[in-house]
């Protein structure tokens, strides 16, 4: 027997024949049970069929909802911080005001979902389908920290002479360069001019190698462009481009 309780400890559903939380939650959802405010923090709900489930205000912090069917589910105000929603079906789901900070939404189907007021800070939306989704323009504007015009960016790279040593590359992003970022702080552009390269002591050096591709070289005074072109998907943080941070401190910490 599995009891589903609220955060305050009140039992809201009892699954007499269930041996695990996933089975209990699926049973409750299939019977139209009220799961509002359910404490499902860290629950294993991998692939669960939760079609139309009423999970208003539920605590799903860090829950595994990979591949879950949440189509039409009521997740308004739910805590989905850091939840794994990779490939989840969220078509028409109500996620208004939900905390999706740091959630993995790669490949999720969010068509027609209500995301008004949802916190998407740091969420991974790579490959997610947001067609027809209701997105609050204010949070999106708050996520858009990339200014227009020419700007300076920073990135960490490897010393060309000593690959095990890190260096910082100072980049100029031209005013007409394409630029983008997802929900995090890492940005990318379709080209950049190398203004300077500095070792751990702040001393200038002339060249550096990419951390991810040691054949990709940064030379002071030269313009760099990505070898594999430019990725158009704004939500794909790892899409092709010259990756950088706005601040030197973020690049150092990366």
* pLDDT digit string, tens, across residues 29-72: 999 999 999 999 999 999 999 999 999 999 999 999 999 999 99
pLDDT of the residue at 144: 57
- From 143, 160, 189, the end of a domain falls on 143
248, 127: one domain: no
- From 125, 143, 161, the end of a domain falls on 143
Residue with tokens 């041996």: 19
Band (148; pLDDT cuts 50, 70, 90): confident
Band (133; pLDDT cuts 50, 70, 90): confident
Q: 19 with 36: CB under 8 angstroms?
A: no
Band (122; pLDDT cuts 50, 70, 90): confident
169, 185: one domain: yes
pLDDT of the residue at 172: 97
155, 198: one domain: yes
What values do phi and psi take at 75, rounded to 5? Answer: -115, 25
116, 21: one domain: yes
Provide the residue range defining the domain that includes 16. Answer: 1-143
The pair of structure tokens assigned to 27 is: 């049973």
Distance CA 254, CA 252 (A): 6
Distance CA 77, CA 37 (A): 9
* Residues 168-188 pLDDT 10s: 999 999 999 999 887 778 899
Distance CA 35, CA 121 (A): 26
5, 126: one domain: yes
């Amino acid at each position: 027997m599995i009891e589903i309780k609220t955060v305050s400890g009140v039992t809201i559903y009892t699954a007499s024949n269930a041996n695990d939380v996933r089975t209990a939650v699926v049973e409750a959802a299939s019977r139209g049970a009220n799961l509002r405010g359910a404490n499902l923090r860290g629950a294993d709900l991998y692939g669960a069929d939760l079609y139309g489930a009423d999970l208003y205000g539920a605590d799903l912090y860090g829950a595994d909802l990979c591949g879950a069917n949440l189509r039409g589910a009521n997740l308004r105000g739910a805590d989905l911080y850091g939840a794994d929603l990779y490939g989840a079906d969220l078509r028409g789901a109500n996620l208004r005001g939900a905390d999706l900070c740091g959630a993995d939404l790669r490949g999720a189907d969010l068509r027609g979902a209500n995301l008004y007021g949802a916190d998407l800070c740091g969420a991974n939306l790579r490959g997610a389908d947001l067609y027809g989704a209701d997105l609050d323009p204010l949070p999106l504007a708050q996520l858009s920290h990339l200014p227009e015009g020419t700007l300076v960016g920073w990135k960490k790279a490897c010393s060309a002479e000593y690959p095990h040593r890190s260096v910082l590359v100072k980049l100029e992003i031209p005013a007409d360069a394409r630029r983008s970022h997802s929900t995090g702080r890492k940005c990318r552009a379709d080209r950049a001019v190398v203004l300077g390269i500095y070792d751990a002591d702040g001393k200038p050096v002339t060249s550096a190698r990419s951390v991810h591709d040691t054949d990709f070289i940064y030379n002071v005074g030269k313009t760099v462009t990505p070898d594999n072109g430019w990725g158009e998907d704004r939500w794909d943080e790892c899409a092709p481009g010259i990756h950088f941070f706005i601040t030197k401190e973020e690049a150092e910490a990366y």
